[in-house]
Amino acid sequence: IKESPAESANDGVRAAYAMRMAEVDPYDAIEQALLMTDALGREKVTVHVAKKIFKKNPEGIRDWLPQSGLSEASQQRILRNQ
């Protein structure tokens, strides 16, 4: 998955990988989620993974969120862990 191009045909695989790896290696998971081409899917999976990171590194996520490309609503969901 890490070597495959960022194209919609790989979105499902990237989403599954990111969701599964969220606990094991959340930084790799979020990297893969951000490569998804479907905006709604990318946002949903990225929020899921970012919540996992927030539990372990809240300051790191707070610093990253403004440049994440996520909507304001999604950023707030992460910070509120909702």
Q: Which residue has the higher pLDDT, 1 or 27?
A: 27
Is 1 part of any domain?
A: no
Give the per-residue pLDDT at 10: 81
Question: pLDDT by residue (tens digit) across 16-66?
Answer: 999 999 999 999 999 999 999 999 999 999 999 999 999 999 999 999 999
Parent domain of 66: 8-80
How many folded domains does the chain comprise?
1
Q: What is this structure's pTM?
A: 0.85
Give the DSSP letter string of 7-55.
SGGGHHHHHHHHHHHTTT-HHHHHHHHHT-S-HHHHHHHHHHHHHHHHH
CB 52 within 8 A of CB 22: yes
> Quick check: is 58 in a domain?
yes
